[in-house]
Amino acid sequence: MDTNIEGQIKNLQEQIDDLKKKVTGVENTHKDQLSLVVMSGELDRVLASMIIAVGAAAMDTKVKMFFTFWASASLRDKKKKGKGKDFMSKMFGMMLPKGRNKLKLSKMNMAGMGPLMIKSLMKKQNVMSIDEMFKQAGELGVEINICEMSMNLMGFKKDEMIDYPKLDYAGVATFLADAGESRIQLFI
Amino acid sequence: MTQEELNALEIAKSVDARGTACPGPLLEAKKAIGTINSGDIMEIMSADEGTKKDIPKWANKKGHEYLGTVEESGFFKIYMKKK
């Protein structure tokens, strides 16, 4: 009889432990976290991404940005030079914008007039500049991941990317794992 | 709360965010809220219309109490109480 009760208790304990694990799992699946894929390399789209990221971080949401493809060019530092590039990489490097201040607009670019007009309007209306947004994002702990594959494809070198507090390189699995835990996922 | 009641509130901190547009005021409010105590009242001045909706949303998310908004000429004042 005694062994029977002990057995039952043990069984119940096991079930409780199992449930505890499941509850923790459920809690962890939906964090107050935003996963943002930034694929577009135009000024307007990168700006929108940064506004969302900074806004979310200001609301204490953890933000993980994943820059891929054309957007990776926006994270180049205009003052730095990537070393050891082959011919194709050099060509790509020349054709793609060298950093966030060289981005074009997706509409009304007008050979560079558009971005200048937008920037002067932003200043006039007290909208944070793109540089200021990156600075704020850094201070708020917004994480930026750059797609390793895009880096290789575009021929960018790590030594030509911006200095940013939480800058790292990752693959699609990192994004998927982070996105799976995030309450909000966006693709821009 | 009525406009008179809002104007008569004892404010622990006043944030002048009139020089910034979205998401500037939110950012300044977030930075300032860390400097006041629980139960204290904070005033946020802004000229950015979106802030009127943004601050209550943020306050609600963080559990702070949104008290109301007072219109001034060319800007407005938002009042909230820290959790």
**Sequence spans of domains, chain A:** 31-187
Q: What percent of chain B has pLDDT over 90?
A: 66
What local confidence, expressed as pLDDT, does residue B46 receive? 93
pLDDT at B19 > cutoff 90: no
What local confidence, expressed as pLDDT, does residue A1 receive? 58
- ipTM of model: 0.80
**Most A CBs within 10 Å: which of B15, B16, B27, as the mutation test of the A interface?**
B27
Does residue B6 sit at the A interface (CB-CB below 8 Å)?
Answer: no
More confident residue, B19 or B42: B42
Q: What percent of chain B has pLDDT over 70?
A: 100
- Give A125→chain B minimum CA distance, Å: 7
| A71 closest CA partner among A48, A42, A50, A111 | A42
Separation of alpha carbons A63 and A52, rounded Å: 9
Shortest CB distance from B20 goes to which of A51, A55, A126? A126
Separation of alpha carbons A186 and A179, rounded Å: 9
CATH (residue range A31-187): 3.40.1260.10
Residue A175: φ, ψ to 5°? -60, -50
- Give B55→chain A minimum CA distance, Å: 10
Q: Which of residues 45-74 of A touch B (CB under 8 A)?
A: 51, 54-55, 58-60
What local confidence, expressed as pLDDT, does residue B8 receive? 86
What local confidence, expressed as pLDDT, does residue B76 receive? 93
Band of pLDDT at residue B49, cut at 50, 70 and 90? confident
The segments of chain A whose pLDDT lies below 50 read none
Contact list, B61 vs chain A (CB under 8 Å): 59-60
Contact list, A125 vs chain B (CB under 8 Å): 21
Query: For B51, which residue in chain A has the nearest alpha carbon?
Result: A55
Enter the pTM of the model.
Answer: 0.82
Q: Would you call B8 exposed, middle or buried from its count of C-beta atoms within 10 A (0-12, 13-18, 19+)?
A: exposed
Give the model confidence (pLDDT) of A75-105 as tens digits. 999 999 888 889 989 999 899 999 999 999 9
Separation of alpha carbons B46 and B26, rounded Å: 10
What local confidence, expressed as pLDDT, does residue A2 receive? 66
3-state SS record for chain B = CCHHHHHCCCCCEEEECCCCCCCHHHHHHHHHHCCCCCCCEEEEEECCCCHHHHHHHHHHHHCCEEEEEEECCCCEEEEEECC
- Give B20→chain A minimum CA distance, Å: 5
